[in-house]
Amino acid sequence: MNILHSQADWIARAREVLPAAGFGNFDASIVIARGQGSHVWDEDGNAYIDYLIGSGPMLLGHGDPEVMEAVLEQLPKGMTFFANNARGIELAEAIVDAVPCCEQVRFVTSGGEADMYAIRLARAYTGKPKILKFEGGYHGMSAEAQMSLAPAREVNFPTAVPDSAGIPDSVAEEMLIAPFNDLAAVASLLDEHDDIAAIIAEPLQRIIPAQPGFLQGLRDLCDAHGVLLIFDEIVTGFRLAYGGAQERYGVTPDICTLGKIIGGGFPLAALGARAGIMAHFDKSAVGSEKWLMQLGTLSGNPVAAAAGLKTMEILRRPGQYDRLRDLGQRLMDMQSAALSDHGIAHRLCGDATLFDVYFTDADPVDYRSAKHRDPMLNEVWNRSLRSQGIFKSPGKLYPSLTLGSEDLEATRSAFRNAAKAVADHLGM
């Protein structure tokens, strides 16, 4: 180990120049040096099986040879142009082919940016100001999205609480908050307020599944009230199915946002809708009053588009989603078996393509019921997994298509030891 470049050295350097010693995303006590296939390595050379996969984009694993080839083919032709380019146009075509609600798309650089424009687009189209959002729903970092994302105190619905400093109260006045999976609450808000532009929802909220009929219920209520339905598919797009959650659940929103997988690991996201809605990005179609100005230096970046296009081409091959679901289901079953062996009450929550464990005996249905009753248990679980070379976020486990049988066996053994650690913590 080169002492000058040990992980501790990088952490110390980060502490000097980065607030909270990091990029704001993830545990700053680990510095990743590289990723290959199903693994990442830290700066001390420790290997981990990667179930974080860049928070979702690296569904094919790190350094997929075909994606690398596509990127390397594009690089010498130019890295960014701020102008239309063929790869970006092809990527837009591929998204329109895949995603039911998209007749047209607009590229941006991050998922949060896509959500911000989706909200603005709904307001431009309907001429109404308010947005209904679900408590605990994550839609990036815009002022609207920061309302009741992870509220520390419980207030009565539909009051919005900002989770970030620096947001004026006036933003909260334009937001209505409802509990996820509570159709009656949404119905009564739509009855009471005739100035709602859109409902924005994650079709799988974090890892909480929509109950049967909930998403269709939202669709019907939106139609009845002239409100647009926005699905935030930044995570679920090209993961739950090739056509995203809207394909898997059979409910088509008016607008959706996409990110992560469509950029193949590079900064690229998009929002899409039918042409009549997307017309608000076209001044010549809607006139200057109704025009939504939108541009960005890196929008439609050709390197990101090349990586995304190749990733999507690979995902279209027969059997990919069956295999992903099979891998995910096996991981869920292993986890459940390890915990059940110790008699530890738990629920595996989510979808086979992303999930995590709750130490509870009731299925979480919304933000409040999904709050961990004993957060220490998840901490013990996650800490044990990390110490055994399992790299995951504290609240999610993302399977990738690159996992092999050795990875699964190593993970099974890590789950067993982590279950033992939780049992010990509980004094069982």
Which residues, in sequence order, are CB contacts of 261 under 8 Å at separation 6+?
56, 57, 59, 237, 238, 239, 308, 311, 312, 315
Least separation, in Å, of the C-beta of 55 and ligand PLP?
5
> Which residues of this chain interact with ligand PLP, rule CB under 6 A?
55, 110-112, 115, 138-140, 202, 232, 234-235, 259, 269
Query: For residues 62 and 139, which CB has a smaller minimum distance to ligand PLP in the complex?
Result: 139
Least separation, in Å, of the C-beta of 243 and ligand PLP?
17
Least separation, in Å, of the C-beta of 262 and ligand PLP?
11
Active site residue 138: yes
CA atoms within 13 A on the CB side of 164: 13
In the DSSP assignment, the letter for residue 270 is E
Q: Is 304 helix (H, G, I), strand (E, B) or coil?
A: helix
Structure tokens at 302: 């050709």
Query: Which helix H or strand E contains 380, and what residues bound it?
Result: helix 375-387
Least separation, in Å, of the C-beta of 8 and ligand PLP?
28
Strand order in the sheet with 228-232: 104-108, 269-273, 255-258, 228-232, 196-201, 130-134, 175-178
Query: For residues 179 and 259, which CB has a smaller minimum distance to ligand PLP in the complex?
Result: 259
Alpha carbon of 125 to those of 99, 121, 218, 289: distances in Å? Answer: 21, 6, 19, 11
Query: For residues 160 and 207, which CB has a smaller minimum distance to ligand PLP in the complex?
Result: 207
Amino acid at 393: S
Query: For residues 263 and 421, which CB has a smaller minimum distance to ligand PLP in the complex?
Result: 263
Point out the residue whose Cβ comes nearest to ligand PLP: 111
Q: Which is catalytic among the residues 115, 232, 254, 356?
A: 232
Query: For residues 240 and 414, which CB has a smaller minimum distance to ligand PLP in the complex?
Result: 240
Q: Which is catalytic among the residues 138, 358, 367, 398?
A: 138
Q: Which residues pair with 34 in a beta bridge?
A: 41
Least separation, in Å, of the C-beta of 204 and ligand PLP?
9
Active site residue 260: yes
Least separation, in Å, of the C-beta of 26 and ligand PLP?
11
Active site residue 125: no
CA distance 332 to 350: 10
Query: For residues 196 and 234, which CB has a smaller minimum distance to ligand PLP in the complex?
Result: 234
CA atoms within 13 A on the CB side of 422: 29
CA distance 68 to 27: 28
Start-to-end CA span in the chain (Å): 40
Which are the catalytic amino acids? Answer: 138, 232, 260
